[in-house]
Amino acid sequence: MGLTPMMRQYFEIKDRYKDCIVFFRLGDFYEMFFDDAKTASRELELVLTGRDCGLEERAPMCGIPFHASANYIQRLVYKGYKVAICEQVEDVNASKGIVKRDVIKVITPGTYVENNGVENRNTYLSTIYEEDGNIAIATTDISTGEFKVTSFKSLKTTLLDEITKINPKEIVIDVNLNEKLENELSSITGAFLTKKDLREFLCTREELIVQFSEVEVSNLSIAAEKATRILLKYVYETQKMSLLNINYLEQYDIINFMTIDGNSRRNLELTENIREKSKKGSLLWVMDKTSTSMGARVLRKWIDEPLISREEILKRLTGVEELFNDFSFNEDLRSLLKDIYDIERIVGKVANGNVNGKDMISLKNSLSKLPAIKSLLSSSTSNLLKEYYENLDVLEDIKTILEKSIKEDPSLSIKEGDIIKDGYSNEVDELRVAKSHGKEWIASLENSEREITGIKSLKVGYNKVFGYYIEIRKANYSSIPEGRYIRKQTLANAERYITSELKEMEDKILGAEEKLIKLEYEIFLEIRKAVEKEIPRLKASARIVGELDCISTLSKIAVENDYVKPEINESGIIEIEEGRHPVVEKVIGRGEFVSNDTLLNKNDNRLLLITGPNMAGKSTYMRQVALITLMAQMGSFVPAKSANISVCDKIFTRIGASDDLAGGKSTFMVEMWEVSNILKNATPKSLVLLDEVGRGTSTYDGLSIAWSVIEHISNTESLKCNTLFATHYHELTKLEGEIEGVKNYSVAVSEVDDNIIFLRKIVEGGADQSYGVEVAKLAGIPKSVIDRAKEILADLEGTDKGVIQGIEKGEVSKVVECIEEISIEKEDSTNDKEKNNKKSNEISEVKEMQMDFTFIEKEDFVNKISNIDILNLNPMEAMNKLYQIVSEAKSLK
Ligand code: ADP
């Protein structure tokens, strides 16, 4: 027994798409076979059946109706599977034997863009390639056509920082990439990793030049060129065509943006909060007031990539300032912007042939706002807005084409007609007249036939099988004039008839309809082609709209939240008057938030040692300084009365995300790991935040480590960076005056009748006690426990005076060495086994610690469910939510 021809065909195809679930089109269904069927039936809860395939055993099979495939594809892709869509690629009637089938598209996590519009953010697909000591990362979003590449000296930390920033959904990596790096990539980004042999898997240089241009690719480094070719190859392989909206290759240099490592990004809660990983409570949440999807993506990018050129920062700030000072200008602008659809994504649909009439109308309506925007910008004075004015192509010609050709309310499908506007094509108009005349004639037929025959109940009707007919009830048969009608169909109580005129008219109507559908489709394709030719112009205008929206939004939130334009310097001075934390003030209310000043000056205020009891507001204060700096460098006004911000190259934070985790060695290891990373990578232009360093270990160890870190940062020429150091070891306050640049600050508290009140005010000078017991009392610890704690504290204070004196300078430097040893740095291309073993032990310790996260995950999960706003979900969203909940619950089991 041999395989059936269809199964042979299936195997030939499956063989080429081993890593995909193949959706094999059979009639109105996509069928899956063998292992694919088993996987899909498990993941999608489908019934597993079997099909004769020519072998003794039936082939396991399951299927889904093709019209409902979108939802199933989404579920599989979200679970990290790839789906290969295999269609019949020739006309069934024309084929001899078995109809030809082939894969027309491969949908993968990084190319699944259907849901993009909902989230207003990019879906990135990246690749990483290393050659000649350089690493290149190429990235694209196929829905917007963005394609960018960067290359830098091979350093793992830089790679991980950059890839965390990009946050791709899928990364194409080399099959031979070392396993440790592979694990790290997957754990920090959560991306799906696709493995290819990158020495072979790349498109040709010619294809590269056709996709972009000779000029754009001429100055790429070797690694960058290869990465670009690899990524293009993957796009071709999955999309099965070269996408026309990918036509501009953006080369960027990571050193043009502030470096923020993955940890610091998470700690500062830039685009999502740490606990729930949702936008709420993040900086993006405060700023996310854009009017367009394009603006929303630009805003996210600007938050992710603060600038480091003073000139560029000032350019943005002056643009924001102009709109800040002219409220009505900005409001007029925003009311125009809010009616602009996602031009980039519509253009993406034009490029891949998915665009329909409704999209074209959205495009036309969007373009029709551009002239008014341009004229608003015509009187602008800032360089940035003037530049937008000069460069904004209002695309009048494209708008006119669409306006003339596409109906205002076209049908959804481009294959159903009813899409081309009256008056655009004579031929379409004539066919429409023919069709409507015919319909009128038929409409009048009922009356005229009733009159002629005298049969009042005579009806004219239509069905798909017999076409138009005249229906007469049994009781009236005798009244039918002899020879008038031809019998067509007999029903229980009636007969259906036709006449030759009726059939002629029917042919005319149906003929006209068929021709119309075909003709309208052809005309639509012509229009699509015309728009397609203008993709680069459309993309350029869309980019300006996105940026302009972002500038306008920064002005809007600055007005609403009472932000101020920062001054920007390059001399290391950060001076903030009455600064506020942009997110906390939103959460607790502006009136409740206590503002604070900051001075960091590279001189006597270089390392601010902030003491104060737990819950006093130390970490809020430190984050506030970092966020104000970051906002200034993205070109935003800042929450303060005044601010003068020095451009910083990197922001580092060691803030206790892990503080609230179960303690122990692993937590301490992570903490030291982070500190070590900071000490190695910070520069004199960096801003460093260290919160409770040394907390994860015993008091003596912790104190000595904290001390030595302060000493190291303050005395090492290549560091000496602006630092905020919060600690509850008030013994460290003695370092002011001993170590150059260290300055004591504390968060003021007041004591009233044995109770403490947090004043949230940062004042000069160190806190003289830790108030730990008082804070415990505030938190509701039983009185008996508090009283006993006070007794113990009194005892300890009596015996423990000499902590600081006990640490000799020599011992301190030993601790520094210890911290540096824990380094994860320096690429492990070395064969040093011992070193590798040690590192893998560290990794497994970290992993062990991560396993302890489950209880937090469960809590987060419960929170997430209770926060679902059921009344604001449509049925589809509700299904998706339910599905997510079930999958998440399974993963937490
Ligand atoms: P610490 O780091 O000293 O333990 P946090 O910075 O976590 O304290 O602050 C504890 C809480 O105090 C915060 O959740 C916040 O609600 C409140 N808080 C902090 N700073 C301020 C402030 N400046 N004004 C008002 N409330 C504040």
- 47-52: list long-range contacts, CB under 8 Å, 24+ apart: 52/4
How confident is residue 157, by pLDDT bands cut at 50, 70 and 90?
confident
- Across all residues in the chain, what is the average pLDDT? 85
- Residues 111 and 102: their CA atoms lie apart, in Å, by 19
Consult the annotation and say whether 615 binds a ligand: yes
- Average pLDDT (393-413) is 95
Please answer whether residues 670 and 843 qualify as being in contact, where contact means their C-beta atoms are separated by less than 8 angstroms.
Answer: no
Please answer whether residues 289 and 557 qualify as being in contact, where contact means their C-beta atoms are separated by less than 8 angstroms.
Answer: yes
3-state secondary structure of 611: strand
- Residues 560 and 639: their CA atoms lie apart, in Å, by 11
User: Among all chains, which residue has been given the structure tokens 């606990």?
Assistant: 275
E-assigned strand segments in 732-811:
742-752, 755-764
Inform me whether the pLDDT recorded for 857 exceeds 70.
Answer: no
Q: In angstroms, what CA-CA distances link 172 with 121, 352, 624? A: 21, 22, 37
- Sequence-ordered list of residues with C-beta below 8 angstroms from that of 264, at least 6 positions apart, any chain: 651, 652, 653
- Residues 387 and 547: their CA atoms lie apart, in Å, by 12
* Residue 827 CB-half CA count within 13 A: 14
How confident is residue 885, by pLDDT bands cut at 50, 70 and 90?
confident
- Average pLDDT (860-873) is 74
* Residue 168 CB-half CA count within 13 A: 31
Give Dmax (Cα) for the chain.
125
3-state secondary structure of 118: helix
- Residues 617 and 614: their CA atoms lie apart, in Å, by 8
Ligand 1 geometric centre to CA of 616 (Å):
6
pLDDT of res. 772: 60
Please answer whether residues 388 and 548 qualify as being in contact, where contact means their C-beta atoms are separated by less than 8 angstroms.
Answer: yes
Please answer whether residues 612 and 773 qualify as being in contact, where contact means their C-beta atoms are separated by less than 8 angstroms.
Answer: no
Inform me whether the pLDDT recorded for 174 exceeds 50.
Answer: yes
Range ranked top by mean pLDDT from 101-105, 140-144, 315-319, 510-514? 315-319
pLDDT, tens digit, 9 for 90 and up, residues 67-92? 889 899 999 998 889 999 999 888 77
pLDDT of res. 333: 97
- Sequence-ordered list of residues with C-beta below 8 angstroms from that of 809, at least 6 positions apart, any chain: none
Q: What angle do CA 555, 556, 561 make, to 5 degrees?
A: 100
pLDDT, tens digit, 9 for 90 and up, residues 256-295? 999 998 889 989 999 998 888 888 999 999 999 999 999 9
- Residues 548 and 390: their CA atoms lie apart, in Å, by 13
pLDDT of res. 819: 47
For residue 110, give the nearest of 137, 142, 76, 136 by alpha carbon. Answer: 142
- Residues 460 and 370: their CA atoms lie apart, in Å, by 51
Residue 583 phi/psi, 5° resolution?
-90, -45
E-assigned strand segments in 524-628:
567-569, 574-579, 596-600, 607-611
Inform me whether the pLDDT recorded for 652 exceeds 70.
Answer: yes
How confident is residue 777, by pLDDT bands cut at 50, 70 and 90?
low
The Cβ of residue 465 has, within 10 Å, a number of other Cβ atoms equal to 5
Position with higher pLDDT, 320 vs 846: 320
The gap between the terminal CA atoms of the chain, to the nearest Å, is 45
pLDDT of res. 6: 87
Residue with CA closest to ligand 1 atom 25: 593
Q: In angstroms, what CA-CA distances link 613 with 750, 768, 793? A: 11, 10, 15
- Residues 596 and 581: their CA atoms lie apart, in Å, by 9
pLDDT of res. 848: 34
- Average pLDDT (848-867) is 55
- Ligand 1: atom nearest CA of 588 is 16
Ligand 1 geometric centre to CA of 735 (Å):
25
Ligand 1 geometric centre to CA of 621 (Å):
8
3-state secondary structure of 261: coil
Inform me whether the pLDDT recorded for 547 exceeds 80.
Answer: yes
How confident is residue 747, by pLDDT bands cut at 50, 70 and 90?
confident
What is the per-residue burial (b if ≥16 Cβ within 10 Å, else e) of 67-80? Answer: eebeebbbbbbbee
Pocket of ligand 1 (CB under 6 A): 584, 588, 592-594, 612, 614-620, 760
Ligand 1 geometric centre to CA of 256 (Å):
33
Residue with CA closest to ligand 1 atom 26: 593
Please answer whether residues 316 and 548 qualify as being in contact, where contact means their C-beta atoms are separated by less than 8 angstroms.
Answer: no
pLDDT of res. 764: 87
680 CB burial (10 A radius; 0-12, 13-18, 19+): middle
Could you write out the three-class secondary structure of 619-681?
HHHHHHHHHHHHHHHHCCCECCCEEEEECCCEEEEECCCHHHCCCCHHHHHHHHHHHHHHHHH
For residue 606, give the nearest of 683, 705, 687 by alpha carbon. Answer: 687
For residue 675, give the nearest of 652, 704, 707 by alpha carbon. Answer: 652
E-assigned strand segments in 529-621:
567-569, 574-579, 596-600, 607-611
How confident is residue 673, by pLDDT bands cut at 50, 70 and 90?
confident
| Strand partners of residue 690 | 654, 725
Position with higher pLDDT, 878 vs 104: 104
pLDDT of res. 116: 54
User: Among all chains, which residue has been given the structure tokens 């601790």?
Assistant: 815
717 CB burial (10 A radius; 0-12, 13-18, 19+): exposed
Inform me whether the pLDDT recorded for 840 exceeds 80.
Answer: no
Ligand 1 geometric centre to CA of 264 (Å):
19
Residue with CA closest to ligand 1 atom 19: 617
pLDDT of res. 770: 57
Ligand 1 geometric centre to CA of 579 (Å):
14
How confident is residue 844, by pLDDT bands cut at 50, 70 and 90?
very low
pLDDT, tens digit, 9 for 90 and up, residues 487-503? 888 888 899 999 988 88
- Ligand 1: atom nearest CA of 691 is 2
Q: What angle do CA 394, 398, 401 make, to 5 degrees?
A: 140
pLDDT, tens digit, 9 for 90 and up, residues 779-825? 666 666 667 666 766 665 555 443 444 344 444 444 445 444 443 33
Domains of the chain plus CATH, in order, are 5-107 (3.40.1170.10), 125-256 (3.30.420.110), 288-395+534-559 (1.10.1420.10), 426-528 (1.10.1420.10), 563-771 (3.40.50.300), 855-891 (no CATH)
Ligand 1 geometric centre to CA of 628 (Å):
16
- Residues 53 and 60: their CA atoms lie apart, in Å, by 10
494-498: strand order across its sheet: 459-463, 467-473, 494-498, 486-490
pLDDT of res. 465: 82
pLDDT of res. 853: 34
Residue with CA closest to ligand 1 atom 12: 617
Residue with CA closest to ligand 1 atom 6: 617
User: Among all chains, which residue has been given the structure tokens 């081993």?
Assistant: 18
Residue 404 phi/psi, 5° resolution?
-75, -35
Inform me whether the pLDDT recorded for 485 exceeds 60.
Answer: yes
Residue with CA closest to ligand 1 atom 20: 617
Of 530-539, 550-559, 749-758, where does mean pLDDT reach its minimum?
749-758
pLDDT, tens digit, 9 for 90 and up, residues 550-605? 999 999 999 999 999 999 999 999 999 999 999 999 999 989 999 999 999 988 99
pLDDT of res. 146: 94
Position with higher pLDDT, 276 vs 380: 380
- Residues 550 and 542: their CA atoms lie apart, in Å, by 12
Structure tokens at 49: 């059946």
The structure's pTM equals 0.81
Consult the annotation and say whether 619 binds a ligand: yes
- Residues 563 and 287: their CA atoms lie apart, in Å, by 12
How confident is residue 758, by pLDDT bands cut at 50, 70 and 90?
confident
The Cβ of residue 571 has, within 10 Å, a number of other Cβ atoms equal to 9
Question: Could you please report the per-residue DSSP string of 227-238?
Answer: HHHHHHHHHHHH
Position with higher pLDDT, 776 vs 376: 376
pLDDT of res. 775: 59
- Ligand 1: atom nearest CA of 592 is 25
- Average pLDDT (176-180) is 90
User: Among all chains, which residue has been given the structure tokens 């000779």?
Assistant: 214
Consult the annotation and say whether 295 binds a ligand: no
Inform me whether the pLDDT recorded for 514 exceeds 70.
Answer: yes
- Ligand 1: atom nearest CA of 747 is 3
- Average pLDDT (372-377) is 97
Ligand 1 geometric centre to CA of 758 (Å):
9
Residue with CA closest to ligand 1 atom 17: 617
pLDDT of res. 820: 47
Consult the annotation and say whether 612 binds a ligand: yes
How confident is residue 422, by pLDDT bands cut at 50, 70 and 90?
very high
* Residue 4 CB-half CA count within 13 A: 13
Structure tokens at 271: 């685009």
pLDDT of res. 666: 56
pLDDT, tens digit, 9 for 90 and up, residues 189-234? 889 999 999 999 999 999 999 999 888 888 899 999 999 999 999 9
Consult the annotation and say whether 617 binds a ligand: yes
- The secondary structure element, H or E, covering residue 804 is none
pLDDT, tens digit, 9 for 90 and up, residues 612-641? 888 889 989 999 999 999 999 999 999 999
pLDDT of res. 776: 61
